[in-house]
């Protein structure tokens, strides 16, 4: 069984500030090789009542006609956050763009709180 894409952030002090400072974002990744663009769009963000799970509605459009909508889940446990795909909306096709969307969330969290470090992940090549 393949491991699901995930990133663990450590040294998280204020989970709610990450929710409050989240930026809706649209990224366009140009692929020079085949002249295509990939669009990654973060639309809505939700914080549950217990304030330990954030869901981020994400849309990825690849090859101008292939679009996937799913939620990225950030779960807080102690001083760690695990960023992964929400199992209920898990995209069938885990493309590079889907994996990049997870790393973009991790990078945004690190920008909001520079004390955060990246722990265990199976997305190293997308974090560069």
Q: Give pLDDT, residue 2.
A: 60
* Mean pLDDT in residue range 102-126: 94
Q: Dihedral of the CA atoms 49, 10, 4, 106 (nearest 10)?
A: 80
Q: How far, in Å, CA of 97 to CA of 61, rounded? A: 8
Sign of CA dihedral 73, 22, 58, 10: negative
Cβ-based neighbours of 97, under 8 Å, separated by 6 or more = 29, 38, 40, 60, 62
Q: Give pLDDT, residue 66.
A: 84
Per-residue pLDDT at 108 exceeds 90: yes
Cβ contact 92:66 at 8 Å:
no
Among the ranges given (47-51, 65-69, 111-115), the one the predictor scored with the smallest mean pLDDT: 65-69
Burial class (CB in 10 A: 0-12, 13-18, 19+), 27: middle
Per-residue pLDDT tens digits for 16-45: 998 999 988 999 988 777 777 899 999 999
Per-residue pLDDT tens digits for 55-69: 999 999 987 678 999
Cβ contact 41:124 at 8 Å:
no
Q: How far, in Å, CA of 12 to CA of 123, rounded? A: 20
């Amino acid at each position: 069984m393949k491991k699901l894409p995930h990133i663990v952030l450590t040294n998280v002090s204020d989970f709610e500030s990450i929710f409050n400072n989240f930026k809706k974002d649209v990224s366009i990744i140009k692929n020079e090789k085949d002249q295509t663009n990939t669009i990654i769009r973060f639309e809505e963000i939700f914080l549950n009542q217990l304030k330990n799970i954030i869901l981020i509605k994400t849309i990825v459009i690849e090859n101008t006609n292939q679009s996937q909508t799913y939620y990225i889940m950030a779960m807080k446990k102690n001083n760690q956050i695990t960023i992964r795909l929400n199992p209920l909306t898990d995209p069938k096709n885990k493309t590079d763009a889907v994996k990049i969307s997870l790393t973009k969330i991790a990078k945004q969290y690190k920008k909001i709180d520079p004390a955060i470090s990246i722990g265990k992940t199976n997305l190293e090549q997308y974090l560069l």
